[in-house]
Each structure stands twice: as structure tokens, then as C-alpha cells.
Amino acid sequence: MDRHEIEGYEVLDRDVRPVGNGAHVLVPKRWIGADVKVVRVSQPNADSDE
């Protein structure tokens, strides 16, 4: 696992959910228009759809 240091305003711990042929993470509406970084911190489950 790599280590990354990011300065920011807020941190959320969320699950990635399947949507169509992809996936998404919901964030608060107040984040609309903000720059956001997503960091995967675990391996995907073997039984998840890719």
C-alpha cells in the first residue's frame, strides 16, 4: 500500500456502490463545485462486479 499525504477541509469514510457499468461514492451536496480526491484504501471484494 502506498502512503499519500493530502491537505484538505473534510474527510468522509464511504462505501463505493455499483451503478450501471461503473460505481459511485455519494458526497454531501454542499461539495458541488469543489475539487475532490478519492483514495482507495482496500482491495475490491472478489464477489463485486467490475
CA gyration radius for the chain? 13
- Which pLDDT value is given to residue 49? 54
Which residues in the chain land under pLDDT 70?
Answer: 46-50
Q: What is the pTM of this model?
A: 0.68
- Which pLDDT value is given to residue 45? 80
- Which pLDDT value is given to residue 14? 93
> How far apart are alpha carbons 50 and 12 in whole angstroms?
23
